Amino acid sequence: MNQYPMTVSFTLNGEKRTFATAPGENLLDLLRRSGLRGTKFGCGQGTCGACTVLLDGRAVNACLLFVGQVEGREVCTIESVGSFDKSSEIQQELIDGSAVQCGYCIPGIVMSATALMKAETKYDDEIVREYMDGNICRCTGYEKIWGALRRVLDRREASLAKVEGSGSKS
């Protein structure tokens, strides 16, 4: 019997892809069995954030999404953000700030922060908490993660304000 009798097509990390799947398969399982293992399984119930990916630019829990729900849409995983060889700014700041212990939560945290940076231009503590609320870290106590996020977001906010300021003068 064919384990995966149907297909689903969506844009994955910028590429149009079609996958064989089964009714009821969730996106997290599909990604991981397809070799994209940066997205982690934690709780499987939408409470830990380890499986966070972007769906049409918004952070979602891949463990809660049936693959049928992503048909024709755009999914981005941690693999599109950075790698061991080429870390994104936020990944590098987390490393430099000693904010990574076991590292299991980090891909999800990076994806939620990426969603925040895509959607917003001002990063007060309240909005950062709102975006990061669903990501649990069991090792670090959050302080160093928070510090790393704040440094990246403060830099980004300052540079966006600069661009805005220079635009308004012309």
Place of tokens 């994104």: 88
103 touches ligand FES by CB under 6 A? yes
54 touches ligand FES by CB under 6 A? no
Q: Least separation, in Å, of the C-beta of 147 and ligand FES?
A: 14
153: number of Cβ within 10 Å: 22
User: What one-letter code names the amino acid at 124?
Assistant: D
Closer of 76 and 137 to ligand FES (Cβ): 137
141 touches ligand FES by CB under 6 A? no
Binding region for ligand FES (CB under 6 A) out of 11-19, 36-44, 86-94, 114-122: 36-44
Closer of 63 and 152 to ligand FES (Cβ): 63
Q: Which of 51, 60, 110, 128 binds ligand FES (CB under 6 A)?
A: 51
Closer of 129 and 162 to ligand FES (Cβ): 129
CB distance 40 to 107 below 8 Å: yes
Q: Least separation, in Å, of the C-beta of 51 and ligand FES?
A: 3
CB distance 7 to 47 below 8 Å: no
Q: Which of 4, 11, 20, 46 binds ligand FES (CB under 6 A)?
A: 46
Question: CB-based burial of residue 101 (10 Å sphere; 0-12 exposed, 13-18 middle, 19+ buried)?
Answer: middle
Residues 67-96 that bind ligand FES (CB under 6 A): none
Place of tokens 């430099």: 96
Closer of 132 and 137 to ligand FES (Cβ): 137
105 touches ligand FES by CB under 6 A? yes
Integer Cα distance of 80 and 141 in angstroms: 27
Burial annotation 44-58 (CB, 10 A radius, 16+ → b, else e): eeeebbbbbbbbeee
